[in-house]
Chain A
């Protein structure tokens, strides 16, 4: 038999039962008899939400049956199937309502039946906050009592709310399993019609928390689909009425997972056949896109930021791992969801107990993540947090990154029972919590076997890092479609806006284009927003209408326009967090750069703080500009005025820091070797005359350029 026919038959049966129940009630009480569930203002909630009409007496119940009949069209189309599902739920609600007439209490422990409005409100708040990640509706008896208990337990331990219908309730009772609203296991009723109480909960949540106007079918469906994270687990054998209810569930966006293999076809993300009961949980959570909150980190020592600065000295150390001596690595790896199992933590190689006291060992951990919004560009952003995560473990210390990390585990932590696998627990829980916007599933593999570590480092980690570096190197302002704004500093510099591009990172040095992109994804309403770059005004200056509109908007009108590549014309503003300031040096036609750490005098006759007073606070001062250290080697560095060949002076320490990149850029742009040798520093000159003499001697290219003003 076709699935359509099963749904239609099930719907017909449920409807016939509803007609019978209503007629019987009318015969007994008369048409004027009041109808309704106790302690609710939304009577009858499913019908009210769907149609906008309340059913308050038996006469209206009878009229409702006429309406329900109109939904029961019989074309073999998806719409007919869904509407028949809705009709089944509405019929079931009427059947249930008849049981409550005259203040009757049709359900007795352990059955609970109708949920009150107060319970819906209590349930709704944690549902909105995600403290209740999902709602499982389990129908029929599981193959065994043990499997029934295990499944309910699995949902409960994740914080889900569980509704039960049919045989599984008896099974839990047999096992003495504690049920009730307060433990989030809610046995509704024995018959399938009682599932209407679960649908009623969904409809009332939509009306109370979603402000859905009763009768607005589209809004109701959208709300239940997107916000009421319910799903159905239905055990074999499924009768026709249950299948018809399932069609209704799918219409509202609740996927159905069943071990009844007789029904074909399965529909991805909607009707899923899963023969293994132990996989029901994972299949359901994934199908409904439920994010489980992790509230505690399961490790034997404390985990808190208070331990971040803790140092483990050699004498207090149980074992260490040292990437500078042996093969180590730490890596985030994006994979397909099907390839990994959430929260699986594997240790390949010896545990801490097997390692000698005070020994130096290998370690390589690969955190595999999957998620619909995950992008490979976020891998380094996540990876950079590992240092912080591992350091927050009491008695564990971490420095370095990539394949150069060093970890120590203290004797105290070891004595408390800390194991390698607990590093996996920490990484798992923190990545899932902090990056839940992009990471849906996460699995951790930790290698301590030396041969495996060598393999992971050389065959996986290093090629990945090289690929990333290559991507960063090829990431140019021209190669991307959008830039990002950053207004993180507006709290103290209200009119400043950073425009972050691949070749011009935020002036604080802390926000690269990739960071800004990740920030936007993780915190959509946060400080970094997309700036398009479609309407070019002047490519050379880096002037765009889009960029100007964005700075106007984000500075709330304080700034009219900025250019990305000029220090003279509408230079980008600064908050005050700049790593460096570059200022025009008129005698040499060049610019002087001072970094924050530099305390001495510059050839401009100004110290860094004096230059800072000209530059900060979101004001535009042509000739002065704040920027990050990394920007100095960029091909876009004041490109409009000729680029890096204008740099005539930098503090020695800064010069050494940026030398490699700066020299490479100078070579590429102008064919100059060892450009930094031509650039002055405080050991050469602190006044303009001596500086110009030095530049002349070295043949610095700036001297031959046009004056900047």
Chain B
């Protein structure tokens, strides 16, 4: 019997969101097929790969990644090198040092970093806060203000601070709002609903629906993304049609598989390889589950994932 292909057509599609300005923009989403189902329909905008840099890179990044940027690299140098990485579509600046339970850098100091990075590159930029809800309310407001006109993605508005972050990032300074929820389709939807009720347009929202490193309760992530994409396409749920971005590196490089030294774990092989493997495995799984963008750190991972996307789309 001949194979009779029946394309799975949906009468709904993922919202397109454009980040960046000028001729260096990128668009996430826009497809009306399941991830990489190019045989069902065209995927207009291939998933994107971002390179994460951090104001705390010197302390927190793995030695192999630090080596790429070189000893004593300034934030501007790092940004340029990140943007130049093979396969990179955008740069993600993680303001890790703002965390009150960590370095607790003042907002002004972080804004100077943001400006330095933004001035050094012209590719699309994503700024990630320090993940402390209260500090981020203030910090992300200032980030959005400092980058007026750059059309950056600011992450993240969460249930606890979506009003502050949504109002400043999405309304006052018209940037793209990252809406972050913790691996739960209903919470993801609820956050999108209340953020749009605030006045932020759906085409200015990108979701981070939560993530984990493979092997760390990761099946919840797959199931959540799967169901969100299912609801968006098969049920035309407009409040779940925002594209998904997934910060991978900050999860995977913290696992023991990536961080244990070779002296401690000789049977596991070189630490660098393990870190890259964790990052690639997680990112690949995120993308096939429905992420429209992933944020990585290691040049090898960025190159590999970019190649995978290129081969499949």
Could you say which of B60-68, B187-195, B275-283 contacts chain A? B187-195
Q: Does A527 contact B (CB under 8 A)?
A: yes
Q: Does A209 contact B (CB under 8 A)?
A: yes
B228 nearest in chain A by CB position = A556
- CB of A121 within 8 A of CB of B190, answer no
Task: Given the known inter-chain contacts A494-B185, A525-B194, A556-B227, please indicate yes or no for A125 contacting B235, CB distance below 8 A.
Answer: no
Q: Does A614 contact B (CB under 8 A)?
A: no
A200-237 vs B, Cβ < 8 Å mask (1 yes, 0 no): 00000000111100000000000000000000000000
- CB of A494 within 8 A of CB of B173, answer no
Q: Does B207 contact A (CB under 8 A)?
A: no
A506-542 vs B, Cβ < 8 Å mask (1 yes, 0 no): 0000000000000000000111000000000000000
Which of chain B's residues have a CB closer than 8 A to the CB of A701?
none
Among A124, A209, A526, which residue has the most Cβ atoms of chain B within 10 A?
A209
B-facing residues in A125-152 (Cβ within 8 Å): 125, 128-130
- CB of A128 within 8 A of CB of B171, answer yes
- CB of A557 within 8 A of CB of B234, answer yes
- CB of B186 within 8 A of CB of A487, answer yes
Q: Does B198 contact A (CB under 8 A)?
A: yes
B-facing residues in A587-611 (Cβ within 8 Å): none
The one of B145, B163, B193 in contact with A121, judged by C-beta atoms closer than 8 angstroms, is B145
Which of chain B's residues have a CB closer than 8 A to the CB of A527?
186
Which of chain B's residues have a CB closer than 8 A to the CB of A124?
167, 171-172
- CB of B184 within 8 A of CB of A490, answer yes
Instruction: Report the Cα distance A556→B227, complex, angstroms.
Output: 8
A129 nearest in chain B by CB position = B163
B167 nearest in chain A by CB position = A128
Instruction: Report the Cα distance A128→B166, complex, angstroms.
Output: 9
A490 nearest in chain B by CB position = B186
Q: Does A491 contact B (CB under 8 A)?
A: yes
A-facing residues in B125-140 (Cβ within 8 Å): none
CB of B146 to closest CB in A, whole Å:
12
B209-246 vs A, Cβ < 8 Å mask (1 yes, 0 no): 00000000000000100010011001100000000000
Which of chain B's residues have a CB closer than 8 A to the CB of A130?
163
Instruction: Report the Cα distance A366→B237, complex, angstroms.
Output: 45
Task: Given the known inter-chain contacts A487-B186, A490-B184, A491-B186, please indicate yes or no for A557 contacting B145, CB distance below 8 A.
Answer: no
Q: Does B7 contact A (CB under 8 A)?
A: no
The one of B145, B167, B193, B199 in contact with A525, judged by C-beta atoms closer than 8 angstroms, is B193
- CB of A208 within 8 A of CB of B223, answer no
Q: Does B252 contact A (CB under 8 A)?
A: no
CB of A299 to closest CB in B, whole Å:
22
Which of chain A's residues have a CB closer than 8 A to the CB of B167?
124-125, 128-129, 209
Among B163, B183, B231, which residue has the most Cβ atoms of chain A within 10 A?
B163
The one of B172, B190, B234 in contact with A208, judged by C-beta atoms closer than 8 angstroms, is B172
Instruction: Report the Cα distance A556→B185, complex, angstroms.
Output: 10
Dominant SS among interface residues on chain B: helix
Q: Does B164 contact A (CB under 8 A)?
A: yes
Q: Does B292 contact A (CB under 8 A)?
A: no
Task: Given the known inter-chain contacts A209-B172, A487-B186, A526-B190, please indicate yes or no for A125 contacting B141, CB distance below 8 A.
Answer: yes
CB of A293 to closest CB in B, whole Å:
11
Which of chain A's residues have a CB closer than 8 A to the CB of B284?
none
- CB of A556 within 8 A of CB of B231, answer yes
A556 nearest in chain B by CB position = B231
Task: Given the known inter-chain contacts A494-B223, A557-B235, please indicate yes or no for A209 contacting B199, CB distance below 8 A.
Answer: yes
Instruction: Report the Cα distance A695→B248, complex, angstroms.
Output: 61
A527 nearest in chain B by CB position = B186
Which of chain A's residues have a CB closer than 8 A to the CB of B201?
211
Task: Given the known inter-chain contacts A128-B198, A556-B235, please indicate yes or no for A208 contacting B184, CB distance below 8 A.
Answer: no
Instruction: Report the Cα distance A487→B189, complex, angstroms.
Output: 13
B-facing residues in A452-492 (Cβ within 8 Å): 487, 490-491
A491 nearest in chain B by CB position = B184
Among A124, A130, A487, A494, which residue has the most Cβ atoms of chain B within 10 A?
A494
- CB of A125 within 8 A of CB of B164, answer yes
A300-344 vs B, Cβ < 8 Å mask (1 yes, 0 no): 000000000000000000000000000000000000000000000
A92-128 vs B, Cβ < 8 Å mask (1 yes, 0 no): 0000000000000000000000000000010011001
Instruction: Report the Cα distance A124→B227, complex, angstroms.
Output: 36
CB of B120 to closest CB in A, whole Å:
25
- CB of B184 within 8 A of CB of A556, answer no
Instruction: Report the Cα distance A130→B194, complex, angstroms.
Output: 15
CB of B181 to closest CB in A, whole Å:
10
CB of A50 to closest CB in B, whole Å:
20
A414-436 vs B, Cβ < 8 Å mask (1 yes, 0 no): 00000000000000000000000
Task: Given the known inter-chain contacts A128-B163, A525-B194, A556-B235, please indicate yes or no for A209 contacting B186, CB distance below 8 A.
Answer: no
Instruction: Report the Cα distance A124→B173, complex, angstroms.
Output: 11
Instruction: Report the Cα distance A556→B168, complex, angstroms.
Output: 33
Instruction: Report the Cα distance A211→B194, complex, angstroms.
Output: 16
CB of B28 to closest CB in A, whole Å:
22
Instruction: Report the Cα distance A130→B167, complex, angstroms.
Output: 11
Which of chain B's residues have a CB closer than 8 A to the CB of A208?
171-172
Among A124, A125, A130, A557, which residue has the most Cβ atoms of chain B within 10 A?
A125
Which of chain B's residues have a CB closer than 8 A to the CB of A491?
183-184, 186-187
CB of A657 to closest CB in B, whole Å:
32
B231 nearest in chain A by CB position = A556
CB of A607 to closest CB in B, whole Å:
27
Instruction: Report the Cα distance A526→B159, complex, angstroms.
Output: 12
A117 nearest in chain B by CB position = B172
Task: Given the known inter-chain contacts A494-B223, A525-B194, please indicate yes or no for A209 contacting B187, CB distance below 8 A.
Answer: no
B90-101 vs A, Cβ < 8 Å mask (1 yes, 0 no): 000000000000
A273-297 vs B, Cβ < 8 Å mask (1 yes, 0 no): 0000000000000000000000000
A121 nearest in chain B by CB position = B172
Which of chain A's residues have a CB closer than 8 A to the CB of B145?
121
B198 nearest in chain A by CB position = A128
- CB of B227 within 8 A of CB of A494, answer yes
Which of chain A's residues have a CB closer than 8 A to the CB of B227?
494, 556
CB of A701 to closest CB in B, whole Å:
43
Shortest 8 CB-CB distances between A and B: which pairs?
A128-B167, A129-B163, A121-B172, A491-B184, A209-B171, A125-B167, A125-B168, A525-B193
Supply 6 further A-B pairs (C-beta < 8 A) apart from A491-B186, A494-B223: A124-B172, A125-B141, A209-B167, A491-B183, A526-B190, A556-B185
- Name A's B-contacting residues (CB within 8 A): 121, 124-125, 128-130, 208-211, 487, 490-491, 494, 525-527, 556-557
